[in-house]
Amino acid sequence: MDDLRISKRVSNANFYLITFIVGFIAFFLIREIIMLVLMIAFEIRDPGFAVSFASLLEQGNFLGFTPNMWTALNLSQFLGNLILTIPLVIILWKVIVRDFKLFKTELWHNLRVIGFGFILMLFGQNLLSRIYQYFGIVDESANQELIMYALEADSSIFILLSVVILAPLLEELLFRQLFFGLLEEKFKFPKVVALLISAAVFAALHAYDIFFFQYFFMALILAGSYSLFKNNIIIPIGIHFLNNAVILLYVFDIIG
């Protein structure tokens, strides 16, 4: 019986490893494929669209984007996240349901944990912003700048749904549930090392310049909340959701 249980755990770990690798590749590939299809569609209607769009995107010149360019970018982001989130939720459904049931057993405690994690994240981001300003760095990260411009487009509903709803769910399942879990359980990294590696990878995917540290701190909070509170994925999803939602409220000048 013990051998059977060990074999099952190893089998599950290997399955999750394959799921993470496929999911990690698809995280980039699906969006690019959808964007290519949309570029071709708009190119047929508007010759020269593809070249102009690719050039402006490479330059980071978002002010030069046309409405169709924003539609291609926002829709590819939304559909890419949606297409990847659905199979991940299906694969990890039992884990999600189990964690949600456990979350409800200590509901108010866990809600306070989410609130504290969110406040800690805001404090860290504010502190880093002040440090950046002290050294004369006043720009936003490329990722944040892109989102801010995207939210002003007519197709902003797609980026809104992607950032607030899909991103917290997708990224927590992929980088905390799978990646951090594999580092700690399958590869037997010490908890602190697993935290640092998973946070570094997450941050590098969002920013590869000086703003790397903002996302690194954010990822440490998310991974730390997952690890410290019984590996319950609902907690980092809640913190991530709250963080993204409040940032968007600031962008729209609803609060602050």
Residue 172 and residue 183: Cα distance in Å, rounded?
A: 15
**Residue 38 in tokens:** 């949309």
Catalytic entry in 172, 184, 206, 240: 206
Residue 180 and residue 135: Cα distance in Å, rounded?
A: 33
Q: Is 32 a catalytic residue?
A: no
CB 142 within 8 A of CB 62: no
First to last CA, the chain: 59
Q: Is 171 a catalytic residue?
A: yes
Residue 256 and residue 250: Cα distance in Å, rounded?
A: 6
Torsion angle, CA of 238/195/144/121, rounded to 10 degrees?
50
Residue 35 and residue 81: Cα distance in Å, rounded?
A: 12
Catalytic entry in 32, 58, 152, 171: 171
Tell me the catalytic residues.
Answer: 171, 206
